[in-house]
Structure formats: structure tokens, C-alpha cells
Amino acid sequence: MPHSNTEQSERREAIRELLSGGAVETQQVLVDLLSSRGLAATQSSVSRDLRDLGAIKTPEGYTLPGGERDGEAELANVSSLLRRATPAGANLLVIKTAIGAAQRVALALDRAEWPEIVGNIGGDDTVFVATASSAGQKHLIAKIERARGR
């Protein structure tokens, strides 16, 4: 239990800062990083903080989901797996990926939490994305192209 709400707030702000610099492998690494900053932390307090901050565990470690910038970072992590994005009607986008990579790309799109995306389905090398509007579809294609470096 934190000694005060101030300590808890400081610890959580430090965790946000640490995670904004990239994924942190384990809760123990976070405890050590916080301790090196002079903040009291235990694995259980860090676990509660991560839960309350909405952090997610990825293969790389703990990270915070977030807005536009974080969404682009999510997609950048799988950009080498993207092949092309093609409209299929006004509100459907078909994304071709490397073989076996569609589910990773679909997960990255989910974690991006972009408002244009209503939902998606990832198969083996194809992701179907439902968009909220045709304008949203065009905006999403632009984001995907940016992630691919085009």
C-alpha cells in the first residue's frame, strides 16, 4: 500500500514516463527502475499500477495503449509484415500481409485503438477491416502507407 496518494501518483507518472520510452520487459524491471528514481515500489504495487493505468503485456514487455502516436508505433512494429491495403467497398479494407502474419497485424490494429476502425478479422495473410466511414477508410489507408514508409 502506498504511504500516500502523492507517492502513488508520482509512481504512476514515473511508470507512464518509463513505458512511453518503450516496452519494459517485466514488473521487476519496473520496480528496479522506480527504485533507482527514489520511488518506493513492490511487484504487487507495480502490478496494481499497471492494471489501473491500462497497461498491456506484449511479447516485448509492458506498454501503454494510446492515441494516434501510439497507434502508429503499434503498426510500425509490424510494418515489415504489411504488403498492401486495398479498399473493398466504402467501409471495408483488405490488408494483405506476409504469410502467417495477419493475426499479428490485426492485433496491432486493435491495440492502436484508432477511431476509424470498427473491427477487424485476421486470417493467415489477410486482414479485413471494417471502417466507420469511407473517409475513415481513406484516412486509415494513409496511416498504413505511412507505417510502411511510403
Q: Are residues 106 and 55 in the same domain?
A: no
* pLDDT tens string 77-115: 888 999 999 999 999 999 999 999 999 999 999 888 888
Q: Are residues 78 and 116 in the same domain?
A: yes
Domain that holds residue 106: 69-147
Q: Are residues 48 and 95 in the same domain?
A: no
**Number of domains the chain is built from:** 2
Backbone torsion region of residue 21, taken as left when φ is above 0, otherwise alpha when ψ lies between -120 and 50, otherwise beta: alpha
Q: Are residues 55 and 81 in the same domain?
A: no
Q: Rounded to whole angstroms, how far apart are CA atoms 51 and 5? A: 17
Strands 56-58 and 61-63, sheet pairing = antiparallel
Give per-10-residue mean pLDDT for the chain (150 aa). Answer: 73 89 90 93 92 78 65 80 93 95 92 88 96 88 80
Q: 84 Cβ partners below 8 Å, 6+ apart?
A: 95, 96
